[in-house]
Amino acid sequence: MSLPIGIHDLSFASTEFVLPHTALAAHNGTDVAKYHVGIGQQSMSVPAADEDIVTMGATAAAPLVDRCGKDRIRTVVFATESSIDQAKSAGVYVHSLIGLVPSCRVVEMKQACYAATAALQFAIGLIRRDPSQQVLVIASDVSTYEPDSPGEATQGAAAAAMLVGADPALVRIEEPSGLFTADVMDFWRPNYREAALVNGRESVGAYLRAVEGAWKDYTKQGGRSWEEFAAFVYHQPFTKMAYKAHRHLLSLCGRPADRDTLERDLGRTTAYNAVIGNSYTASMYLGLATLLDQADDLTDRPLAFLSYGSGSVAEFFAGTVAAGYRTHLRTGANHEVIARRRPLDHAGYRALHAWSLPADGGDHSTPAQTTGPYRLAGVSGHKRLYETR
């Protein structure tokens, strides 16, 4: 029997600020039920001027290093679709900020919201080759849409950090995987744009086709039967999308899609995403954190994962929860990540949405807003400057 490999530790971080959807609805003159019920969102995390994917990624990763040490981490994989540089990995900044050893490879991965799962699978392959090492996988994103656009209410920001290793304390990742790729223009962001472009109707359809394709391939590859899964963890661009995807899969499999079934299968996976918003690559792993924090004992129970990234790529795979996992959870810290955010009014949110560092290569500092452990201090000579508090 091969050595189990998977998620040994999991932590996440978000931002200094939060915009309640009640404030957005009041500005738009919209019934707040459109957000609370229609898309299943309560609020969205908003980065401070001195926060970005690096500061969130470092904040999420530091607790893993504090608990487990750094000597065995020989690879850092940073997954994002909010990249800050076309050459240098954001993970190199994180490597420095959290003080990892020089004998370490660091790379960045991109494929929309799917990239963190690609990073996880890459990590598993490295550990299978050398079980003594660990891989730090960081998924960090800020989702940004044009003001007053249909996507605006789904915005959010967060980072999830996973320490991947042999004999994991949380979740053992299994083979096989079900895979699916299709060339679709449902969501994209050219290099010259800050905000993404979205074809809403096509985006939903592409997600559902990817769910179907990945599941069919998973069953073809000899995966677990439906009845074995204790819960289903989906990528959540907004929480109601997970319900829509699961209904589609239930229908495909000839199973009832009643309220009780939906709540049993995925109702315990949405709480963190509902108040943080879409965190792109981190989204599905926030769903996992929610499930582990909220569910009754899941020891030795298989979980289903559906990771999706627009454009589009999807993967369906399984993981079994490890014995003793509850002693390794960070439930209190996770709740604090959400509770510490300071509410914004709509004007404050719009000011931060419009704010950006000048791109002239000069010396520019950022307003000191975050109370987190790391901040983007400014730029000088086109170089981003970070500092530790």
Residue of 51, 81, 108, 174 marked catalytic: 81
The dihedral sign for the CA sequence 309, 310, 315, 319: positive
Specify burial of residue 297 (Cβ count, 10 A radius: 0-12, 13-18, 19+).
Answer: exposed
The dihedral sign for the CA sequence 203, 209, 212, 218: negative
Specify burial of residue 316 (Cβ count, 10 A radius: 0-12, 13-18, 19+).
Answer: buried
Q: What separation in angstroms does the CA of 253 have from each of 178, 212, 249, 259?
A: 16, 10, 6, 17
What is the pLDDT at residue 222? 98
- Least Cα distance to 270 among 237, 312, 315 occurs for 237
113 catalytic? Reply is: yes
Could you give phi then psi for residue 180, rounded to 5 degrees? Answer: -155, 135
What is the pLDDT at residue 115? 98
Q: What is the pLDDT along the chain (389 residues), one digit of tens a residue?
A: 589 999 999 999 999 999 999 999 999 999 999 999 999 999 999 999 999 999 999 999 999 999 999 999 999 999 999 999 999 999 999 999 999 999 999 999 999 999 999 999 999 999 999 999 999 999 999 999 999 999 999 999 999 999 999 999 999 999 999 999 999 999 999 999 988 888 878 999 999 999 999 999 999 999 999 999 999 999 999 999 999 999 999 999 999 999 999 999 999 999 999 999 999 999 999 999 999 999 999 999 999 999 999 999 999 999 999 999 999 999 999 999 999 999 999 999 999 999 999 999 999 999 999 999 999 999 999 999 999 99
Which residue(s) pair with 7 in the sheet? 164, 171
* CATH 1.20.120.1200 given to domain 5-388: no
What is the pLDDT at residue 201? 84
Residue of 16, 95, 108, 113 marked catalytic: 113
Query: Distance (Å, rounded) from C-alpha 142 to C-alpha 52?
Result: 7
Query: Distance (Å, rounded) from C-alpha 335 to C-alpha 295?
Result: 15
Q: What is the CA radius of gyration of the chain?
A: 20
- Least Cα distance to 117 among 162, 157, 75 occurs for 162
What is the pLDDT at residue 198? 87
Specify burial of residue 188 (Cβ count, 10 A radius: 0-12, 13-18, 19+).
Answer: middle
146 catalytic? Reply is: no
Residue 159 DSSP SS3: strand
- Peptide linkage before 96 cis (omega within 30 of 0): no
Q: Decide if 126 contacts 79 (C-beta within 8 A).
A: no
What is the pLDDT at residue 212? 98
Q: Where are the alpha helices (DSSP H) in 159-229?
A: 200-220
What is the pLDDT at residue 195? 84
Distance from first CA to last CA of the chain, Å, rounded?
A: 46
Residue of 235, 246, 248, 353 marked catalytic: 235
The pTM (predicted TM-score) of the whole model is 0.98
Query: Distance (Å, rounded) from C-alpha 185 to C-alpha 267?
Result: 30
227 catalytic? Reply is: no
